[in-house]
Structure 1
Amino acid sequence: MDRPDFYRFHQGHRNLPFADAEYDARLARLCSTMDKLGVEACIFTSMHNIAYYSGFLYCAFGRPYALVVTKSQSVTISAGIDAAQPWRRCHGDNITYTDWQRNNYWRAILSVTGPGKVIGFEGDHITLAQKALFDEFLTPARSEDIAPATMRQRMHKSPAEIALIRAGAEVADIGGYAIKDAIKEGVREIDVAMAGRDAMEREIAKRFPDAEYRDTWVWFQSGINTDGAHNPVTARTLQRGDILSLNTFPMISGYYTALERTLFVGTVDDASLQIWNANVAAHEYGMSLLGPGASCAGITHKINDFFAERDLLQYRTFGYGHSFGVLSHYYGREAGLELREDIDTVLEPGMVISMEPMLTIADGKPGAGGYREHDILVITEDGNENITGYPYGPEFNVVG
């Protein structure tokens, strides 16, 4: 029996998040970057870059995956356990490697790159063990960290990407309304979260009938559980007067969007209302600052000053916003487009960024809890467009 190191297994109809022309344009921009760096081939190993340049979002389950890009080819490298699914979901060619011999993954990659080339890799993703195999099998003349350049490319969204992100924001709003309807005294966090998640998954399937469905989730927090932005859902039951944090995250073909809102169950006390209104005011002020020519650090310092004038800056716990695109809570992050003091990136039309100030008041103090509002904004030629629709603030979000 012939037991090959790798082979091609292509069957079925291909379905991708975007048209071929979108991927061709992304690859063309990548090849331009490769020319500038003198790189002959790129090996992408992260979920976000493989998805961005090919459309394929892998499920590793302990196996390595790759996308190899040369001046003439774009080839995903996938494990035999997935059969032809990676080919059906990728732009370009696909090679399946087998388990019959250790490191067939690298032999498949070598079949595309050839030995002794100048190779680009993702320095922020590849492990030390895999980098050693990279050097052993490919014997590169030189290796170049391509990750920073690809991140800069991903920060600028195409019209097709913005359309998908806009749809995701609309789905996030639908999840938010479903959560609002489910909020009642005595209900568990997990039950409210499931209502939001189910509503979003149904809507995604309605809008994108040819997509794959996975990873959509909700973080719904109450009481002390609101103190952190990413605290998991629990079985805590809601009580009258509880502060709540609504967080919906629809995932569409690897693209992440979000809605985040502060709410209260039934009533809100005066101390909490004061903090909430201050955070809403900072949110509105921050959104007014988002436009072409503004720097991430400059925006951050202005919001810091806003909070400091109200003696609230000490309650801020993280940055004020981040980029959107191919990312999620377990892969991908365009760290060069975050609203933080140490990020000097200047906003440009076509970027998509959130505004999400958060204040956390310690348990036992007046107004205790975490307050956060979150909208998604597309940077335009003369300002921004807010694509989040669910209302924020006390008038709409004292519920149950």
Structure 2
Amino acid sequence: MDRPDFYRFHQGDRVLPFASEEYDARLAGLRARMEEAGVEACVFTSMHNIAYYSGFLYCSFGRPYGLVVTETESVTISAGIDAAQPWRRCHGDNITYTDWKRNNYWRAILSVTGEGRVIGYEGDHLTLAQRDLLEDFLKPSATLDIAPATMVQRMHKSPAELALIRHGANVADVGGFAIKDAIREGAREIDVAMAGRDAMELEIAKRFPDAEYRDTWVWFQSGINTDGAHNPVTARQLQRGDILSLNTFPMISGYYTALERTMFVGEVDDASLKIWEANVAAHEYGMSLLKPGAKCSEVTEQINAFFAERDLLQYRTFGYGHSFGVLSHYYGREAGLELREDIDTMLEPGMVISMEPMLTIPEGSPGAGGYREHDILIITDEGNENITGYPYGPEFNVVG
């Protein structure tokens, strides 16, 4: 029996999130950066960069996946368990590696790169073990961390990306309205979350009938569970007067969007209302600051001052916003575009960023709980375009 180290298995029609021209443009931008840095071949291992440059979003299950980009080739590297699905869902070529022999993954990569070349890799993703194998198999003349350059490229969205992100924001709103309808005393967090998730997945399937569907989710928190932005859903039952945190996260072909809102069940007490209104005011102030030429760190300091004047800054829990695009809760992050004190990136037209101030008041204090509003904004030539439609604030979000 012939047991190849790797082979090509291509069948079926190819379906991609974007037109081939979109990927050609991304690869041209990458190759310009490679030429400038003297890199002859890039070996990408992360879900976000493989998806960004090829369209293929892998499912690892402990197996390595890759994308090799040279001056003339773009080749995804996938495991045999996926058969031809990676080829159908990628731009460029695809090689399947087998598990007959250990490290066939690197033999497949070597077949594209050759030995002794200058290799670009992702320093924020490649493990130490895989880095050693890269050295052993590819015998590079030099290596260079290409991840920072790719992040800068991903931060600037194309018109096609902006169109997809707008769809995502619309879908997040659909989930938000479904959640609002499901909120009532006695309902469990998990029941409300499932209503929002189901509504979004159906909406994505309606808008993108040829896509693959996965990874859309909801975090719906109540009471003490609102104290952290990423707290998982539980079976806690909603009670009248509870503070709630609505978080819808549709995923469309690797592109993440979000809607986040503070809510209350039935009624809101005076202390909570005061905190909520202050956070809403900070949210609106923050959105007004997002315009071309604004520096992330300076926007952060201005919102910090806003909260400090109201003796609330000590309750802030994280930065005020982040980039959107190919990212997720388990892969990818464009850390160069976040509203934090240590990020000096200047906002430019075509960037997409959230405004999401959050205050967490400790349990036992008046107004206890986590307050968070979240809108997605596209930076334009004149200022910004808010693509989130679900209303925020007490007038709309005291429900159930």
The 2-side partners of 1:360 and 1:123 are apart by: 34
**What corresponds to 1:340 in structure 2?**
340
The 1-side partners of 2:64 and 2:110 are apart by: 15
Post-superposition Cα deviations, 1:177-218, rounded to whole Å, max 9, x if no partner, equal: 000000000000000000000000000000000000000000
The 2-side partners of 1:118 and 1:227 are apart by: 47
Q: Which amino acid aligns with 1:238?
A: L
Where structure 1 has 5 or more consecutive residues not aligned to the other structure, the ranges are none
1:174 aligns with 2:147: no
SS in structure 2 at match of 1:15: coil
The 1-side partners of 2:62 and 2:223 are apart by: 37
> Shift of the alpha carbon at 1:22?
0.2
SS in structure 1 at match of 2:149: helix
Post-superposition Cα deviations, 1:66-88, rounded to whole Å, max 9, x if no partner, equal: 00000000000000000000000
1:375 aligns with 2:369: no
The 2-side partners of 1:147 and 1:272 are apart by: 43
The 2-side partners of 1:390 and 1:15 are apart by: 32
Post-superposition Cα deviations, 1:46-103, rounded to whole Å, max 9, x if no partner, equal: 0000000000000000100000000000000000000000000000000000001100
**What corresponds to 2:282 in structure 1?**
282
> Shift of the alpha carbon at 1:312?
0.4
**What corresponds to 2:272 in structure 1?**
272
The 1-side partners of 2:96 and 2:103 are apart by: 13
**What corresponds to 2:385 in structure 1?**
385
**What corresponds to 2:223 in structure 1?**
223
The 2-side partners of 1:309 and 1:97 are apart by: 59
Q: Which amino acid aligns with 2:260?
A: E
**What corresponds to 1:325 in structure 2?**
325
Identity of aligned residues (%): 85
SS in structure 2 at match of 1:209: coil
Pairing 1:19-38 to 2, within 5 Å after superposition = 19-38=19-38
1:48 aligns with 2:48: yes
SS in structure 1 at match of 2:236: coil
The 2-side partners of 1:390 and 1:2 are apart by: 58
Post-superposition Cα deviations, 1:159-194, rounded to whole Å, max 9, x if no partner, equal: 000000000000000000000000000000000000
**What corresponds to 2:263 in structure 1?**
263
> Shift of the alpha carbon at 1:285?
0.1
Post-superposition Cα deviations, 1:305-328, rounded to whole Å, max 9, x if no partner, equal: 000000000000100000000000
**What corresponds to 1:105 in structure 2?**
105
The 2-side partners of 1:253 and 1:377 are apart by: 20
Post-superposition Cα deviations, 1:267-313, rounded to whole Å, max 9, x if no partner, equal: 00000000000000000000000000000000000000000000000
SS in structure 2 at match of 1:325: coil
TM-score by structure 1 length?
A: 1.00
The 2-side partners of 1:29 and 1:290 are apart by: 26
**What corresponds to 2:254 in structure 1?**
254
1:17 aligns with 2:32: no
Post-superposition Cα deviations, 1:226-248, rounded to whole Å, max 9, x if no partner, equal: 00000000000000000000000
> Shift of the alpha carbon at 1:11?
0.1
SS in structure 1 at match of 2:191: helix
1:146 aligns with 2:146: yes
Where structure 2 has 5 or more consecutive residues not aligned to the other structure, the ranges are none
The 1-side partners of 2:191 and 2:115 are apart by: 55
Q: Which amino acid aligns with 2:89?
A: R
Q: Which amino acid aligns with 1:16?
A: L
Q: Which amino acid aligns with 1:122?
A: E
Q: Which amino acid aligns with 1:352?
A: V
> Shift of the alpha carbon at 1:2?
0.8
> Shift of the alpha carbon at 1:17?
0.2
The 1-side partners of 2:193 and 2:174 are apart by: 13
**What corresponds to 2:60 in structure 1?**
60
The 2-side partners of 1:315 and 1:61 are apart by: 39
Pairing 1:235-246 to 2, within 5 Å after superposition = 235-246=235-246
**What corresponds to 1:200 in structure 2?**
200
Q: CA RMSD in A?
A: 0.2
1:69 aligns with 2:60: no
> Shift of the alpha carbon at 1:141?
0.2
**What corresponds to 1:87 in structure 2?**
87
The 2-side partners of 1:208 and 1:14 are apart by: 15
The 1-side partners of 2:203 and 2:338 are apart by: 29
The 2-side partners of 1:309 and 1:220 are apart by: 31
**What corresponds to 1:128 in structure 2?**
128
Q: Which amino acid aligns with 1:242?
A: D
Q: After TM superposition, which residue ranges in structure 1, 4 or more long, deviate above 4 angstroms? A: none
The 1-side partners of 2:201 and 2:43 are apart by: 33
SS in structure 2 at match of 1:63: coil
1:190 aligns with 2:190: yes
Post-superposition Cα deviations, 1:93-122, rounded to whole Å, max 9, x if no partner, equal: 000000011000000000000000000000
> Shift of the alpha carbon at 1:10?
0.1
SS in structure 2 at match of 1:326: coil
> Shift of the alpha carbon at 1:128?
0.3
TM-score by structure 2 length?
A: 1.00
